[in-house]
Amino acid sequence: MSKQKEELEHRLKLRNVKLSDYEDIQEIMSSIYKNQGGAWTKQEFKNQLKAFPEGQIGIEDNGKLVAAALSIVVDYTKFGDNHTYDQITGFGKFDTHDMEGDTLYGTDIFVHTEYRGMRIGRRLYDVRKEICENLNLRSIIAGGRIPGYKNYADEMTPRKYIDLVKNKEIYDSVLSFQIANEFHVRKVITKYLPSDTDSRAYATLLEWINIYYEKDEKLIGNKKSIVRLGLVQWKMRRFSNVDDLMQQVEFFVDTVSGYKSDFCLLPEFFNAPLLAEFNDMDASEAIRNLADYTDEIISRMSDLAVSYNVNIVAGSMPEYDGKKLRNVSYLCRRDGTQDKQYKLHITPDEASYWGLQGGNGINVFETDAGRIGILICYDVEFPELGRILAEQEMDILFVPFWTDTKNAFLRVNTCAKSRAIENECYVAITGSVGNLPKVENMDIQYSQAAIYSPSDFSFPHDAVVAMASENEETIIVADVDLDLLTKQRKAGSVRNLEQRRLDLYSIQWKQKK
Nearest CA to 301 among 336, 325, 273?
Answer: 336
103-111 β-sheet, strand order: 12-16, 57-61, 64-74, 103-111, 139-144, 202-209, 184-190
Residue 130 annotated in active site: no
The per-residue b/e assignment along 109-138, b for 16 or more CB within 10 angstroms, e otherwise, is bbbbeebeebebbebbbebbbebbeebebb
Catalytic residue among 268, 319, 350, 424: 268
Nearest CA to 77 among 51, 53, 105, 54?
Answer: 105
Catalytic residue among 132, 319, 343, 425: 343
Give the whole-angstrom CA distance, residue 186 versus residue 208: 10
Residue 343 annotated in active site: yes
Residue 110 pairs in a beta bridge with 68
Residue 377 annotated in active site: yes
Concatenated DSSP letters of 49-103: HHH-GGG-EEEEETTEEEEEEEEEEE-GGGT-TT--HHHHTTTTT-TT--TT-SE
Catalytic residue among 264, 332, 377, 415: 377
- Angle between helical axes of 42-51 and 22-32 (0-180°, round to 10): 120
Give the whole-angstrom CA distance, residue 239 versus residue 375: 27
Residue type, 1: M
> How far, rounded to the nearest angstrom, does the alpha carbon of residue 384 sit from its chain's CA centroid?
18
Q: Using CA atoms in the order 30, 34, 38, 39, what is the torsion angle rounded to 10 degrees? A: -20
> 295: which residues sit within 8 A by CB, 6+ positions away?
none
Active site residues: 268, 343, 377
